[in-house]
Every structure is written in structure tokens, then in C-alpha cells.
A and B are shown apart, each in its own frame.
Chain A
Amino acid sequence: MSRTYVLRRGLQAVGTLLVIVTALFFLFRLGLPDPTVALVTDGLSPEDRAAVRERFGLDRPLVEQYVIYLGNIVRGEFGTSFHYKAPVAGVVWEKFANTMVLMLVAIVFAYLLGIPLGAYLAWRRGTRTDTLGIVLGLTFRSAPMFWTGMLAVLLFGVALGWLPTSGMRTLPYEAANFFDKVFTLDFLRHLVMPATIIALFYLGSPLLIMRNTMLEVYGEDFIEMARAKGLPERDVLYRHAARNALLPVITQLAVTIGLAAGGQVVVEVVFSWPGLGREILQAVRTSDFPLAQATFMLMAVLVIAMNFLADLLYGALDPRVKLR
């Protein structure tokens, strides 16, 4: 992997981001209704609303707004949310952390379980175990999460009363910072249900991708060779075959993590998880431009970064891949 490669890809990423940032700005402003329109129902007159628009800076020409917006981004400022009348960064970071802790736990579990399970199914191909594994993986992948989530709430929350049904912590709680909030048993109890529901949903991808690539790898000569050397089947499976089958799963993992910032809105709703997904939905519905722009930009940054990372990892995992 050469330094010029990293530099070139880095510049490409910045270019992509600029296009996305521009598209977001014009998309929201031209496509969404006036952010002050909902104030009519609160009894604000057209003059009152014009004053609000002026405070938001929406009375200025679009190009001027765009220049201010770009300048702010370069300085790392994302403006003030129209709805909360609070700096966007504060709203977004807190919700982003809430979403990522849920999503990452779920994704890590799904892949830690799915990769070896997929390899195992490939090894046991054609048997009942294989069929059962595929059917279960596909079932959880296809079952809508609001439904599985609600079933879990009804069973473990309402009927059995084992687990809390909403939020991240039992309220009220004192937490000096984010880590203070999540490194508690109470948080784990709140995390179990939503994380499991999402993990089960994601499980299908690594499971099936791993199984399929393993089957391809199994046909290769070097597997025959390993067996001929008299290696135990477990070593053949996990050391020789699985390592070579990992590449497509890594790509999938990178994309999944990249998209995780958007959260799983339905799960956030069912479990009243105070995450970014719900915030994004609300920002678009209320035409909260600064908040919507910042959240979508965050998602874009994450997707671009994770793709970049996956490319670099390819080189490390497979010496045949040369990055120039």
C-alpha cells in the first residue's frame, strides 16, 4: 500500500463529501416545506413568522445562505436547530452516541456469531443443520423489526416483566458523561432487547455470505492440499478456508457500520431509544434544515470512512491485493 494511494483516496473522499454537502443543502431547501409553517397552528401571524425566518437567516438569498453554510462546516459549526433552538452539534453528538452504542453492539454480535456459524453451515452443507440455519437466518432477516420488537416487549416486558420496555436507563439517573451512562448494569438490562432484535436481523448477512464464499473456497486446490497434509478438519475449516472467505464479509461489515449512524428507526421507536434515527426523521418532517444537514452529513462521512477503511483492510487481509 503506497502513500500516494492513501493520499489519492483521501482527496477523493473530500471531493465526494463536498458534492454530498452541496446536494443536501439544496435538496432540503428546495424540497421541504417552509420550516415556520407549523407555527401557524400555534397562532403565529405571517409577520411573526417572517421575524422567525429572519432569525433563522432564511430571508437571505439562497447563494448567500450556501456560502455561510460552507464556511460554518469548514469551521466545524453546524448552526442552531430550528426546533430545539440549540446548537446542532450538542443534539447530534449525544444522539449519535446513543445510536452507535446500540448498533455497534448489535452488529458486533451479529458478525461474531454469523461468521463462524456461516463457516460451520458450509462445512455441514446439505444436512438438516444447514437447512435449519439458512431458514432461521432468512426468517430473522425478513421479519420486520417493529413486529419482532413488539413481540419481545409483550413477552419479556409486559407478560414476564423481566426486562424494561423503554429508554436507555431507568429514569431518573445521574451520569457525568456518556461512559458513565453506559457502563452500568441498568444500561445492559435496557440494551438486551433492542440489541438482540437488531442483531438477529443483521445475523443473516454474515451467515449467508460466509456460507456461500466458504463453499466456493472449499472447491479450491489448497484445501485438498491441506487435507492431504493430514490437518484436522477443524484447522482446515477455520484456518485455511475461513480466512480466505472473509473478504466479502468484511466489505459487508464496513457498509453495515457505515450505515449504522442512521440507526434502525423502527427499533428506536418501539423501545423509545433516544437515538439519532428518530431525530433524523423529525428533522426532515419539521424542515429543521441545520439538524437534517448535519445528521445526513454525519452518515455520509461514516459511509465514506468505512469504505476507505475496508479498502485498506483488504490489503492487510489478502496479500494478493495490491493498493497503488
Chain B
Amino acid sequence: MNTTTARRHAARWVAAIVAAALLFGAAQAQEPIPTIEILTTTEAYDPIRYESAFIIAEAWRQLGFDVIVRPQEFSTLLQRFYDEQNFDVTILGWSGRVDRLDPQHFLSTLDSRQTSLGSNNPGGYDNPAYDALFDAQSREFDANARRALVHEMQEIAAPDAPLVILYHRDEVIAYNATRWTDMVTMAGEGLYNEWTPLRATPLTDDRVLTIGSPQEPDNVNPLASTSVWGWKWMRMYYDKLVRLSPEIEPLPWAAETITAVDDVTIDVTLRAGMTFHDGMPVTAEDVKFTFDYYIEQDFGYFRAFVSRIASVEVTGPLGVRFNLSQPFAPFITVTLSQIPILPAHIWSGIDNPGDLNPDEIPTIGSGPFRFDRYDRGEYKRLTVYPEHFAAGDIQIEAMEMIVFADSEGVFTGMQTGQLDMTAWRMEPGQIPLAEANADLVVVGVPDFGYFHMTWNLRRAPFDDVAVRRALTMATDRQRMVDVLLDGRGEIGSSVVAPVNAFWHNPFIERFDYDLEAARAELEAAGYTWNAAGRIVAP
């Protein structure tokens, strides 16, 4: 230790002792609220969440709070938030996976039975009325009746300000319009959805759709992949009983018909004539095997989807009956649209599918595309399966994906014409460049995932609803959308995004940015300010 730091240390001790003495002398009530720590991502990981934290801190300081922003490495941030619940305020997000269009998952993030360490409600919001409605909506099979319950949940949670939904960031992607038309966009998915490869029409002789992405699957094992990038690829060569349409309606796909006999019995009839890529027919036995296999293997990624299935019965060569242990509203929209149909003749001989080496993983599905190759870190490719019932409408002969190290590499590939489309959102700085490029068309779609700021309701002052309400009013979400997202996004109000129009409740308390109203809310709750302008609890 050199002399300057030694002196600084000594000075710090003296200051601490003096401060302690002053505190003892002062009236206890004059003790200001301790410093609030906001955890956020590093600037390199996500500049937008990083800057948002500083916008928030600046406004809260004007209310007399002492605020410090602490950027964290992403997995450290996740650990402190979920596993340790060691935070005052954390800025994080939920991605908008298609299966989350059903409100079940997002609504569960405010369920008080999800407040244990590692669960989905680290803030600790606890409202018995909310929990009861959550259970009721999950059992309600009638869509309109369920919708009323979902709306009510959003309405009763909003005034409690259990967290702040900051913004929904638009997915902004681009494609080469000199080479392609009929591209399909989907909320939350952008262009890289299940439908673009089925509908895209080439304008040149090149009938291979080339996609660039900085993201890569962890693996392509349907019993081990836990990344959305693994499933976005696998869903093209595995079929599902249901596919969600571009307008996000459930369409019977490998299923010819789906009939709810009652709210715990669902009958499915398969399409006739389907085959796996090795030529074997797709039968009811394969479907039963698949669901039994996922339940037996206890695969975490799908456990929530299959946990209400009591049994699966084969009722005929193409007939399957699902018996549920209790009504489960998202069964058709989520469970049937996410679980891939596996060929029983291949997988039934594999006892520990999670431990397969990459070169042993079966890639035989019954989807509209067939697995061709996967060179990790570089390339993957699917070709059309001509025997598929949808193959007649497909205009391309293959889809390929080139893996890049970052979005800058992808963008260069778009500029040089190497790529036809991006799989992942562009950075704000690339968007104007893409718009200026005559060959490219830029598409923005709203996201139903969200970025949120969650406070720890177990800690003062966030245990006081007045503070939460005031601090929400002091969070300038409009500025985040206008400045940080350059207008490409929407301010948040509920865990169910506005784009998810059927489930979103637009008539809930919104807390517009208003520092005066925030101050009034605090005053009404008995908060005062000391001589230094710091806020003091009642």
C-alpha cells in the first residue's frame, strides 16, 4: 500500500467514525433511506438495459433517494437475481418464445408459489387473490371466460406495482428483397419463424434460403437441447400435432382433427399418409411413444408442458387420446404445438438420450424439411422433404444457416449479398445503414417478451406499496423507447404484451412519468425529506 492510498484509507475511517457519531446524535427519524442498488447488464452485453439503469437512477435521485448502478456479468446477474435473491432492484428480461404467447408462463412470474430461491418470482410479490385467479384461468378451457380471468389478474396486480415492465423491444430484421419475396413476419419471432421457409419465394434461380445468425444451438438433441436456437432449428424437421399460424392461431398440423371430449380428455386424429424421413409411417404409436418418452425421461425443458398428462391412449392406427390429470388451458396452444413427434422405432432403443454424443443423435423427423448437415460453429442445412403434405407449396429447395461470431459479421454478410436474411435482431446502429441499402428491406415486429425492472419486495423500502408506486412514476419508459430504442418498441404496462391483444388488458393503471405525482404519493404515505434533501421513511 503506498502512502496516498494509506492516507485515503485513514481519511475514510475518520469520515466513517464522524458519520457514525453524527448519526447517533441526530434524531432517529431523520435517518434517510439507505442507498438503493440497481443491478443491470454490462454495456457490452446490452447497452440499452445498461443505459436504462442510469435514466432510472437519475430520476430517483431527484426524489431524494440515493441510488447506485452496478452492471454485472450476465450469469452473475442471473445468479444474484434468481438463485440468491440478493438484490434491491434488478433489470432483466424475458424473451418472447412462441409458447409464451399463451399467458400462462408470464402470469406465473407473479405467483406467490414461485417465490422460493431459483424460481420465477424473485421479487416476491404475494397476492392470494392473484394466485387464486391464476389457478382458475389455468383450468378454464373456454377462451373468453379465461380471458376475463387473465384481464382481472392484470388489473389487480397493476396498482401494487410488483415490478415495472420497462419496454417491449421490436425485433428489427432485414432480408434481401432483390432475391426473395413472400417473406412471413411473426410477432416475437421476426422472419426466422416456422412459416418463412414454407412460403418464401425466390426471385432468382437460387432456391436456397441463406440465413445468418450469431446464435447457435447448444445441440440438436430433442431430449437435451435447452436453447431456443436449438428448437428454432429442430422444429423445421420435426413435425408437431399443432403449428401456430403467422397470426398465432393454433392450426391442426400433423393432427387432422383435435376434439376436446371434455376438459380433461382430448382426442387427436392424425393425418393419413405421413412418413418419417426414413420412409416409415407416422402412427398413433409414435405419438403415444413420444409423450410417454418425454414424461419418463423427465426432460426439464418440456416438463411444464407435459406435467398435466395422466396417460396417452392409442384409440386406432391414427387415433390418440390424451387424458389430463386436471384441466390445462394451454394444452392445445402450447403442449401440442411444442412437442416434436419422434419416431418410436429409432428412439425406443435409447435409454439415456440426454447423454448421446453429437454424432449419435438421431435426426429423423417427419417435418417439411429433412436434416442434411450440421457443422458446429459454422453451418447447418435442411432440404425439403418431398413426401411431406406441405411440400407442394414450398418454393425453396433448401434452407441453410451460417453462424457468425457477432451481429456485425451477420450485417457484413447482408451487405455483401452472402446472406438472404438475418435470424436475430439488428443493433440500433445497423438499422439506418440497412435502410439505406437499396437491396435490403427492413422489417420491425413487436415483441411479446419484455424487459423489466424488479424490486425485492422483501426489503425496505420496496415492501411499501407507496414507494413502489412513486418509483414507477419516476421511471421514464417513454424516454427509453424514444431515445434508447429509437422509437422501435413500446412502453410496457403488463407482463402480457400489447401485441398479444387477446390476453393483454389495456385498461390497467399505467403510471405515466410524473415526478410531481411521485412526490405527492410519497408525501401522502408520510415520507419526509431531511435538510440534505434525502428522503426519510415515516
Contact = CB atoms under 8 A, between A and B. Distances in A.
Contacts of A270: 405, 408-409
Interface stretch (A43-51, A212-220, A307-315): A43-51
Contacts of A165: 409, 412-413, 416, 418
Interface in B32-86: 73-76, 78-79, 82-83
Interface of B is mostly: mixed
A158 B416 contact: yes
Nearest to A98: B377
Contacts of A44: 226, 300-301
A287 B301 CA distance: 19
B402 A171 contact: yes
B76 A48 contact: no
Nearest to A44: B300
A45 B303 contact: yes
Interface stretch (B14-22, B115-123, B495-503): B115-123
B379 A172 contact: yes
A46 B119 contact: yes
Contacts of A269: 405-406, 409
A272 B224 CA distance: 26
Given A51-B300, A95-B377, A269-B406, A84 B75 contact: no
Given A84-B376, A85-B221, A165-B409, A42 B228 contact: yes
A220 B74 CA distance: 58
B377 A166 contact: no
Nearest to A51: B300
B27 to A, nearest CB: 43
B357 A37 contact: no
Interface string A106-141: 000000000000000000000000000000000000
B331 to A, nearest CB: 16
Contact of B75 (A45, A49, A52, A287): A287
A86 B220 CA distance: 11
A34 B409 CA distance: 30
Contacts of A37: 75, 78-79, 82-83
A118 B405 CA distance: 36
A43 B406 CA distance: 25
Interface string A158-171: 10010001111101
Nearest to A170: B418
B521 to A, nearest CB: 33
Interface in B402-446: 402-406, 408-409, 412-413, 415-416, 418
Interface string B77-110: 0110011000000000011000000000100000
Interface in B480-526: none
B357 A87 contact: yes
A28 B409 CA distance: 30
Contacts of B206: none
A40 B78 contact: yes
A38 B381 contact: no
Given A34-B79, A84-B376, A172 B409 contact: no
Given A42-B301, A268-B405, A272-B409, A285 B224 contact: no
Contacts of B74: 38, 285
B400 interface: yes
Contact of A285 (B73, B227, B408, B412): B73
Contacts of B412: 153, 157-158, 165-166
A101 to B, nearest CB: 15
Contact of A49 (B219, B300, B400, B413): B300
A34 B79 CA distance: 7
Given A46-B116, A171-B379, A84 B82 contact: no
Nearest to A146: B408
A166 B404 contact: yes
A35 to B, nearest CB: 8
B358 interface: yes
Interface in A52-73: 52, 55
A85 B223 CA distance: 11
Size class of the A contact interface (CB-based, 8 Å): 35 or more
B218 interface: yes
A89 to B, nearest CB: 11
Contacts of A95: 377
A33 B75 contact: yes
Contacts of A49: 118, 300
B298 interface: yes
Interface string A166-186: 111101100000000000000
A171 B398 CA distance: 14
Contacts of B400: 171-172
A39 interface: yes
A83 interface: yes
B375 interface: yes
Given A34-B83, A84-B376, A165-B409, A158 B300 contact: no
Contacts of B79: 33-34, 37
A83 B461 CA distance: 39
Contacts of B75: 32-33, 37-38, 285-287
Given A51-B298, A172-B379, A40 B409 contact: no
A41 interface: yes
A278 interface: yes
B223 to A, nearest CB: 10
Nearest to A45: B119
Given A39-B300, A269-B405, A86 B73 contact: no
B83 A166 contact: no
B402 A40 contact: no
B304 interface: yes
A37 B117 CA distance: 11
Contacts of A268: 405
A32 to B, nearest CB: 8
A223 B91 CA distance: 69
A90 B219 CA distance: 14
A167 B357 contact: no
B416 A161 contact: yes
A51 B298 CA distance: 9
Given A51-B300, A274-B378, A40 B405 contact: no
B392 interface: no
B373 interface: yes
Interface string B262-280: 0000000000000000000
Contacts of B105: 43
B533 interface: no
B403 A43 contact: no
Contacts of B409: 165-166, 269-272
B117 A172 contact: no
Contacts of A278: 405
A51 to B, nearest CB: 6
A61 to B, nearest CB: 20
Contact of A48 (B95, B303, B405): B303
B354 interface: yes
Contacts of A161: 416
Contacts of A94: 376
A157 B82 CA distance: 44
Nearest to A42: B226
A42 B304 CA distance: 11
Given A33-B83, A166-B409, A272-B409, 7 more contacts: A39-B226, A40-B83, A46-B119, A158-B416, A165-B412, A272-B406, A278-B405
Please provide the 3 A-B residue pairs with the shortest distance between their CB atoms, ordered closest to farther.
A48-B300, A46-B118, A274-B377
5 contacts: A85-B358, A157-B412, A171-B400, A274-B378, A285-B73
Interface of A: 32-34, 37-46, 48-49, 51-52, 55, 80, 83-87, 90-91, 94-95, 150, 153, 157-158, 161, 165-169, 171-172, 268-274, 278, 285-287
